[in-house]
Structure formats: structure tokens, C-alpha cells
Amino acid sequence: MAFDALHAATRFGFGPTGDGALPADPRSWLIAQLGPGDPARFPTTLPSVSDGLILLEEQHKLKPPPGESLVAPLYRADASAQLNALVSTTAPFRERLVWFWANHFTVSTRRGDIRPIAGAFVREAIRPYVTGRFGDMLLAVMRHPAMLLYLDNASSVGPDSPAGQGGKHGLNENLARESLELHTVSPAAGYSQADVTAYASILTGWSVDRKSADPGFVFRDRAHQPGDKRVMGRVFPAGEAGGILMLDMLATHPATYRHLATKLALHFVSDTPSPDTIAHLTEALATTGGDLRAVSLALISTPEAWVPRSKLRTPFDLVIAAARLVGFGDDPDPSRHGRLAGMMAALGQPVWTAPLPNGWSDRAADWCAPEAMIARIDWSYRVAARPPEAEPTQLARIALGPDRGQRTIDAMRGAGDRRDALTLLLSSPGFQRR
């Protein structure tokens, strides 16, 4: 199997940078990014989840007028820092994995109280685990205040618990349902509505302390539904320990491995991955107990993943690929709206703002409507307003390769000026795909 350096940078990362530097040994370059250690560094001023929750409580108390949000600068600063990291990273495969798993475990700022903690969620519950065990990531996600608030588990109360007496507070099944359907076993496991309800009972008491000096996750025993619960044929004891056992069962379930393998294949390989590819990735998870480094290595060794330009870039991918090639990023001033985030929003994919808990689609059919493609051409022309120092045709050779990009380069040579030439590159079929 041939390991093409440009394809490695484009399929597994976010495309080459404008200097044209590519790895001499692409396979080893990809493997090296899987650890140990995360090379990404972020400003120490970025808020932790506790910082975000404190500011959220302050905003609720002060009720500032529209346009004077206390939490908006936190969101902008965090988004800007994490997007800028993609533009400059030397470990783009690892970064793509971070954003893949953050989308898998979507929390969305469409719910306002997620806004100041969405960035912390990615940095705290996703990033540290992308080459570890899936079960560890799942536990970190399920205990993180962003997920507990987004899917309403923080207010879920067992009907028979001390806090539930009198019927003023009730059971909320949102997190349990999405955890089964989207995050772990999927409906292919054949669970029932009774399983969803029992799982939701297990998760009662998994909540958020928003009032303490160091707010964060808390297990509220008074809100927890007492007694054993049966889910998918297994019995789990009462208390927080029962929830941890439940998550371990879900993380290592065969249906979970197949579901995760399918999603990885959809993202990295093809909109219609072959059964062999899905089986290969499933086996990597099953034989290692859900080791995410192992399945990432399996992706590298998947022949289908090396078919060039078989995936349409989402708006997120497209903006970052252009920023890396042309050389632009966000102003680090948190008082300003980020250029990168603004571009993504204009193309229909605002950062951390998926419309539903299933996150953003990886399929071309969801991004290639006529109006969406016209928007991409308009966007290309706006980006090209300040052409880089490098000749656009030279950037085309870097981004598309000397062989595959010749037709685009020929068209660029007939363009009226540098801006038109760069517009042709950014809107070309070769650049729109990875």
C-alpha cells in the first residue's frame, strides 16, 4: 500500500501549509502523532469549566442588557484559541481526532448555558483521551457539566428519591437516550424503552454544583433513584458506582465497537465505507477493549482510506484547510469575533453549535445543496481578497499535487488577476475534497 504524503496531510489532517512542507515518511509521521503526549498548548487564561460556571452564575444574577454578555468573551477566546491551533499545528491527525470525538459527543451552544463551557468540555473531556480508552473518555464526558447541562441530566431526579418525594421533580431521559442511541451501542443493540428509563434512573444524581467556590460535577445521593436497575439484561446497583459500571458495560459492548467503527469510517474514509473497512476498525476496538490509539492505527492501515479526494470537505474542514494554505488565522483579541469562526458560521457550520445532539454530518449529501455550493464560491472570492505572497499557482501545486491539480492550474493561468486565480483554486473540486 502506497503512503502518499499529500494525501496523508489532507485526509488525516487539514491539508498542507503554504510552505509546502510534507513528511518524508507519511506513515511514521501519522503514527508519531498518536502519542504519547499532546503537543497542543493553549493560553493559561482560557477558562476551566469551573471558571465558566462561576461566570454563568454571575451573569444570571446581574442580568446584563443585550449585547453586554459576560460569557460571550470566554466563548470567543476559547474558540479562537482552539481554531488557531488547527491552523498552526504540527500534529494535524491528532487534532482531527479531537474534533471528531468532540462532534461524536456533541454539546451545543444553542443552549445558552453551554456557551462559557463548550471549549472547556473539549479541552477537559475529549482532548486528554483521544489516544486512550474509549471508556475513560465516555466517563469523562458523562461527568462533565457541559454534557449534564446540555442534555438536562443535572435536573433529573429519581421519583422515589428523597428529593423526588411529592412529585415536584421528575426523571429526565435525554442523556440516557442519547448516550445509548448516539454515543455507544446505537439502536442496533436492540435496547427497549424500558432500558432507556432504567438507564435514566441510574444517572439520577449525576448533577452539577453551580453554587460552590469550585463548581463542577457532583453526585447528589438525595436525587438518586434507590434500588437496583436492570438494563439490557444486566442488573446495576444503586449509587454512583452503579452508573460507572453501566458506562463500562456500554463502552465495551460489541455494538458500541461497531457503531464507533462505522462513524470513524464515515469521517475518515468514505460516505459509503466498505464492510471490510468497518470490520477492520471494529476488530481493532474489540481486541483492545476500546483502545482509541489502536483504532487510529487501524485507520492508517486501511487501504480504502488512501483513495484520494473521496470526501467532501465540510465548512469546518474547508476553512481550516484554506487558512493553513493561505496563511491566516484569528485575531487573539477575545473582544473581537473570530474570523475563522465567522467563516464557518457563514458556510453553515458555526463552531460548537450543532442543531441537534447527533452533531454535524460527515456525508457530502448534507453539504452540497446548490445554494451551499454557491456560498462556497462566494466565500472563496472573499478569502482571495488579500492574496498571499506566494503565487496562487504555486499554492495549487502544494494543495492539489503536481499531477492531480494540472487542470485547475491551467484554468488559473487564464484568470484575470491573482484574486481570481486564488478563487479558482479554493473553489475547485480538488480543493473542496479531501
Q: Measuring CA to CA, which residue among 106, 123, 155, 101 is closest to residue 45?
A: 123
In angstroms, the CA 134 to CA 248 distance is: 9
Are 343 and 427 contained in the same domain?
yes
Q: Quick one: pLDDT at residue 338?
A: 79
Both 212 and 320 in a single domain?
no
**Each residue's pLDDT tens digit, 378-391:** 999 999 998 788 89
pLDDT digit string, tens, across residues 205-245: 999 999 899 999 999 999 999 999 999 999 999 999 999 99
Burial of 136 (0-12, 13-18, 19+ CB in 10 A): middle
**Residue 347 domain-assigned?**
yes
Together in a domain, 162 and 245: yes
Beta bridge partners of 217: 208
Q: Domains in the chain: how many in total?
A: 2
Indicate whether 230 belongs to any domain.
yes
Model pTM score? 0.96
Which of 251, 266, 300 is the endpoint of a domain? 251
Q: How far apart are CA 149 and CA 171, in angstroms?
A: 14
Domain extent at residue 239: 151-251
Whether 363 maps to a domain, the answer reads yes
367 assigned to some structural domain? yes
Q: Is residue 155 part of a domain?
A: yes
262 within 8 A of 277, measured Cβ to Cβ: no
pLDDT at site 333? 52
Do 72 and 132 contact (CB within 8 A), yes or no? Answer: no
Domain boundary among 207, 223, 251: 251
Nearest CA to 380 among 331, 410, 327, 421?
A: 421
Residues 168 and 244 in one domain: yes
- pLDDT > 90? residue 196: yes
222 belongs to a structural domain: yes
Q: What integer is the mean pLDDT of 170-177?
A: 97
Q: Is residue 98 part of a domain?
A: no
Residue reference for cell 498542507 = 16
> Of 197, 219, 251, at which residue does a domain stop?
251
Same domain, 226 and 320: no
Same domain (yes/no): 419, 329: yes
* Residues near 113 by beta carbon (within 8 Å), at least 6 away in sequence: 56, 149
> Residue 58 domain-assigned?
no
At 181, the amino acid letter reads E
Per-residue confidence at 335, pLDDT binned at 50, 70, 90?
Answer: very low
328 in the same domain as 421: yes
Q: Let me know whether 157 and 231 are in one domain.
A: yes
> Which DSSP symbol is given to 417?
S
